[in-house]
Amino acid sequence: MNGLTALSFDVGEHAQLIESFTPDIAYFMETLSSGNGPNRAPGDVKPSWKWSTALAAHPRLSMRTEYRQALSQVNYYMEQHGSRYGFLLTDRELVVFRRVDDDGNLELAPAIPWVRGGTDEEPQL
C-alpha cells in the first residue's frame, strides 16, 4: 500500500492490553492477531451529558474537571501505546486530538457535530 499501514477498528480489547487499561475503541494493524498490536488511535465513547467540548468553559469547576479527566484518560492510553492521535466520541460530537509532547499537552481539532451535513457532491462528516 505504498508505505501505508492497513488498519482495522473494533472494541479496545482487539489491540494490545497494557496494565489492564482498555479504551472503548481501538485502531490496530489488521495483519496482527487480535490483542497483539498497539492501539494506533485510542478512543473513548461518552454520553454527551457527561462530556462535551462545552464543558471546557463551564462555570462549575467540577464540570471543567470532568472535561479534562476524559481527555487525560485518552491521553494516557495514547502514551501507553505510543500513539500520536486519539479521540472522544459522544452522541453529539466527535473530537480528535494529537499529543504534542510528553507533558500531557494535546492539540484538539474543532468538534465535528453529528448534525453536520453535506451534499452528494460535497459530503461532510
CB distance 51 to 88 below 8 Å: yes
118 phi/psi in degrees, rounded to 5 = 165, -175
Q: Which three cell numbers stand for residue 73?
A: 484518560
In whole angstroms, give the CA distance from residue 41 to residue 65.
Answer: 23
**Which stretches of the chain score pLDDT less than 70?**
1, 14, 33, 116, 124-125
Instruction: Give the amino acid at 101.
Output: D
71 phi/psi in degrees, rounded to 5 = -65, -40
CB distance 6 to 28 below 8 Å: no
pLDDT tens, residue by residue, 90-102: 999 999 999 999 9
In whole angstroms, give the CA distance from residue 23 to residue 12.
Answer: 5
pLDDT at 14: 67
In whole angstroms, give the CA distance from residue 63 to residue 82.
Answer: 29
